[in-house]
A and B are shown apart, each in its own frame.
Chain A
Amino acid sequence: MWRCTRCETDNADADILCNGCDWHSPNLVTFETTLIEDKEIPTYLLKWNFTHTTIASIDNGIGEVSASGETKFSIREKTKLVFSGENEHAKKEFSKVLLLPAPIIETFTASEIEIRLGKPIALSWLTKYADKVLLSDFGDLTGSTNKDVLLRKSSSLVLTAENPSGKQEKVIAFTLPVPVIADFSSDCRKIVAGDEIVLSWKTSNAEKLSLIGLEKDKIISGENKKIILHKATTLHLKAINESGTTEKQLSIDVVPKPEIKFLKLNRAIALLNNEIEVSWEAVNFAKLFLLMDEDVLEVSDKTSFKFEADKSKEIKLVCESIEKLKTISQTVSLRVIEKVSVNFINASSLYTIQSKPVLLSWGVSNATEINLLPSKKKLEADGTLSILPSTKTVYVIEAKNELTTDRKEIEIDVLPLPTISNIHLVTPPKIKLPTFYESRVKYPITEKPKYKFIELVKNCFVRKFTIKEPKTLKTTFISFNQHSEYIQINRETSLMKIVSSIKSLAEIESNINHFKKEKTK
């Protein structure tokens, strides 16, 4: 309805002229809308032409416009536009509705339509004018233009683009083919019982793999599996998915396992030229070989073999299974040795005195053990040894190896020493010697040092020096605390020399102690 302000008549919207006074109302003679297709948001090109209009305007944000013109206008929903035209006596409104175009799915594509289990399918789409984009089973994907999907069974995905004006759907059907077993094999088709084989397979589109033929059916994964077979077996590989099952079989032949029950020598160690017998027992073999040095002897029909020992060696029995599927071996060792021999034994002197050593020397060959008797001292094959017999002694070199023994001996006589009973020492009165409690005398010619005590008088001085044992000294080591020296004592050693040595040591000690006291003060 519009009112003519000239004659105040209310007129129907459709009336162009006022029914009362024929005043011409503003008239929107043309109104055209063209949807601009390259816009993501619905956009119209609006064209209008008012007649009998001095002021024209369009609401919804466009505002005052010229009586004839055009503009682009985007909408997000069904939108009502009110065009107002006004002249001197009338104002008229024209309502126009811009419909939201129905959504358009311009493209909906998939990287592939055949499903490969585990491999994502890339979906992509382009829509226009959609408020909401839905993908069946995957929900609302508004704002996205692609999605990677993992499909497990044949299905159709529906892309729906919606807006208040309607919706459009596009469907892509995806097919999951039955699984394919491209390969089902093993690293060998015939094995020895108890051996491990590696099964391998290549499948596609298998959701589940099942290995049948073992004691228990097994669900397997991966691309290979190690199994142990003890008998001929036919294995079935079943590949299963939602679309069906594919099966492939593989037969494995199993032969008995060769075994060497024993391999032995009549003797492991032998002397040169000894007769040696090697014997054995083997089962499940096709061929048997005896390997010695560089010789290979087929002994398939034998259970023993004799030969003359010439050197140490390894003797190997090789047991080859049927069709050479498996070869096992066992080895025994033969050691060939020579007779032991004590080549010589000598002494630096065949007599001595107590405490005076004698130097023994010897030579032995092919021995594994050499002993000096009677002390049972272990000896090297060649060497010298200082011995200190106290009495007349027969020294024996006894040499052994695994098979033989040899020995040689030498006698050393020991002469008696003069006896020294007491030694009286008089120290200079002004020299105070420290207190000595003990001194050790080492007898280096024996392996185990023997200690003898030399008692000294307390608080002064070596008043008494007694050599109790041994009766015969060769080298005496006299020690006073940290001070020591060797002195040679023999029958000709003067007593005074001994005393002098002791005395000098005592003095040194005394002076040191004195120095320490002074320093402390």
Chain B
Amino acid sequence: MRKGDKLIGHKGTYTILKDFEVTGGMSKVSFAKLDKDSSIYFIKEFLSPKYPGDKSMAGSSATVEKRKKKCAEFESLHIKINKEIAKKSALGGNLISAFDFFRNGTTYFKVCEKVDVSSISITAVSKLPFHQRLLIIRTIVSSLKILHDLEIVHGDLKQDNILIKKITDEMYVAKLIDFDNSYFSSKPPANSEEVVGTQEYYSPELAKYIIGADGIKSKDLTTQSDVFALGILFSEYWSAEKPITEKKYRYVWQQILDGKKVTYSSKIPKVLQDLLDRMLSINAKDRPDLSTIISIFRSHEDEKVYEVGEPKKEAKKETPTHTGGGLKGKLFDKLKEVKKEEPVKPKEEPSTPKLKGKLIK
């Protein structure tokens, strides 16, 4: 699909404004103009699944049927989730849901509101006054709460799926995007290989589900899995650092699964550390839900509670290594390198490659 091409969606005909670009993962992105009102939208082309129809792609009838079924499930889940989200959110809000979702030939497309995002980096965010950081964090919570109230698990919370928009000179808010990996609470894809996520933000139960650990069931994957990832994001937005793990653990979920608490940057005030401890609980039920988190913020309005002492000279942070947990460290390291400290790209969906497939123990 190239610039100038036309796509007919449910909301009208779109004109592609630039060639689609591969941004990583299983999709390509571009911008498109809705012809009927000239509005500009972000458009994503799904590279998978592909609807059987192209003769070159045709296999046996059984294969075709299987692929059709897969497409139907993919389509059904997207439509259902988008429909639910549309009830609680609309254009211009902090939850950027799909504006249109359709199939063109063999390919699925999703159209979303275009967000004019700030180019502020995570480091810059961490240096914003506390109330500005708090607003960013709280708008993430608020948007995620809308999903959770609908019993929808975002499933792929990470910096790339959070766009920072500057409202005023002194106000930044967060826009939550990309619900392609969302599922209804306790109803993740039955095939764990189809669960997409980013290891850095895995919750212990998600990791175990993907690994196929004993005793973990799909019903264990609830909205509280998002709370775990949100705790990691809180740490990043407040201090520009993830929670600190021991050297032998590459990811937070690994240390937590080993029954050990993570530590935090000294920039994070005590009140937030206490909250993060709860959010990063190994047991999902011990994590506060989003209403509780909002309540906690409301009960700590006083600026003083967010003050921290002069940062002590910190020991060199332990950098997570790929050796922890026996995971596919090389791939994740590579992915992490690509991701780290990248500024948030305006008008684009996240570029961080997503892990897909079953982890090897």
Residue of B nearest to A1 (CB): B88
- Is B95 close to A, CB under 8 A? yes
- Is B105 close to A, CB under 8 A? no
- Is B254 close to A, CB under 8 A? no
Q: A12-B88, A20-B135 are in contact. Are A7 and B171 (CB under 8 A)?
A: yes
In A1-45, which residues have CB < 8 Å from any B CB? 1, 3, 6-12, 17-22
- Is B298 close to A, CB under 8 A? yes
Asked if B94 and A7 make an inter-chain contact with CB atoms under 8 angstroms apart, the answer reads: yes
Asked if B173 and A22 make an inter-chain contact with CB atoms under 8 angstroms apart, the answer reads: no
Asked if A19 and B89 make an inter-chain contact with CB atoms under 8 angstroms apart, the answer reads: no
In B253-275, which residues have CB < 8 Å from any A CB? none
Q: A10-B94, A12-B149, A20-B94 are in contact. Are A1 and B89 (CB under 8 A)?
A: yes
Q: Which residues of B contact A9 (CB under 8 A)?
A: 93-94, 139, 142-143, 173
Q: Which residues of A contact B135 (CB under 8 A)?
A: 7, 20-21
Asked if B93 and A8 make an inter-chain contact with CB atoms under 8 angstroms apart, the answer reads: yes
In B87-103, which residues have CB < 8 Å from any A CB? 88-90, 92-95
Distance A143 CA – B93 CA, assembled complex (angstroms): 53
- Is B141 close to A, CB under 8 A? yes
In B233-289, which residues have CB < 8 Å from any A CB? none
- Is B138 close to A, CB under 8 A? yes
Asked if A20 and B139 make an inter-chain contact with CB atoms under 8 angstroms apart, the answer reads: yes
B146, B167, B298: the one within 8 Å of A7 (CB): B167
Q: A9-B173, A12-B149, A19-B145 are in contact. Are A3 and B298 (CB under 8 A)?
A: no
| A6 CB to nearest chain B CB (Å) | 8
B88, B171, B294: the one within 8 Å of A10 (CB): B88
Q: A18-B142, A20-B173, A21-B135 are in contact. Are A10 and B95 (CB under 8 A)?
A: yes
Q: Which residues of A contact B139 (CB under 8 A)?
A: 7-9, 20-21
Q: A17-B298, A19-B141, A22-B298 are in contact. Are A8 and B88 (CB under 8 A)?
A: no
In A407-423, which residues have CB < 8 Å from any B CB? none
Q: Which residues of A contact B145 (CB under 8 A)?
A: 19
| A185 CB to nearest chain B CB (Å) | 89
Q: Which residues of B contact A6 (CB under 8 A)?
A: 167, 171
A3, A8, A10, A19: the one within 8 Å of B138 (CB): A19
Contact with A along B129-155 (1 / 0, CB 8 A): 000000100110111011001000000
| A352 CB to nearest chain B CB (Å) | 156
Q: Which residues of A contact B171 (CB under 8 A)?
A: 6-7
Residue of B nearest to A12 (CB): B149
| A427 CB to nearest chain B CB (Å) | 149
Asked if B173 and A10 make an inter-chain contact with CB atoms under 8 angstroms apart, the answer reads: no
Distance A82 CA – B298 CA, assembled complex (angstroms): 30
Most central of A3, A6, A7, A20 by chain B CB within 10 Å: A20
| A89 CB to nearest chain B CB (Å) | 11
B88, B89, B142, B165: the one within 8 Å of A20 (CB): B142
Distance A252 CA – B294 CA, assembled complex (angstroms): 109
Q: Which residues of A contact B294 (CB under 8 A)?
A: 19
Distance A17 CA – B149 CA, assembled complex (angstroms): 17
Most central of B145, B149, B165 by chain A CB within 10 Å: B145
Distance A3 CA – B145 CA, assembled complex (angstroms): 14
Residue of A nearest to B173 (CB): A7
Asked if A10 and B93 make an inter-chain contact with CB atoms under 8 angstroms apart, the answer reads: yes
Q: Which residues of B contact A12 (CB under 8 A)?
A: 88, 146, 149
Most central of A9, A10, A12 by chain B CB within 10 Å: A9
B93, B138, B165: the one within 8 Å of A21 (CB): B138
| B176 CB to nearest chain A CB (Å) | 11
Distance A22 CA – B139 CA, assembled complex (angstroms): 10
Q: Which residues of A contact B92 (CB under 8 A)?
A: 3, 8
| B173 CB to nearest chain A CB (Å) | 5
Q: Which residues of A contact B167 (CB under 8 A)?
A: 6-8
Asked if A11 and B142 make an inter-chain contact with CB atoms under 8 angstroms apart, the answer reads: yes
Distance A22 CA – B165 CA, assembled complex (angstroms): 18
| A16 CB to nearest chain B CB (Å) | 11
Distance A3 CA – B149 CA, assembled complex (angstroms): 16
Distance A9 CA – B171 CA, assembled complex (angstroms): 13
Q: Which residues of B contact A18 (CB under 8 A)?
A: 142
Distance A11 CA – B171 CA, assembled complex (angstroms): 19
Mind listing 28 A-B residue pairs with CB under 8 Å?
A1-B88, A1-B89, A1-B90, A3-B90, A3-B92, A3-B93, A6-B171, A7-B94, A8-B92, A8-B165, A8-B173, A9-B93, A9-B94, A9-B139, A9-B142, A10-B88, A10-B142, A10-B143, A12-B88, A12-B146, A19-B141, A19-B145, A20-B135, A20-B139, A20-B141, A20-B142, A21-B135, A22-B301
7 more A-B contacts (CB under 8 A) besides A8-B92, A19-B142, A20-B135?
Answer: A6-B167, A7-B167, A10-B89, A10-B90, A10-B95, A19-B138, A21-B135
The 10 closest A-B pairs by CB, nearest first: A19-B142, A10-B93, A20-B139, A20-B142, A9-B142, A10-B89, A7-B173, A20-B138, A9-B94, A8-B94
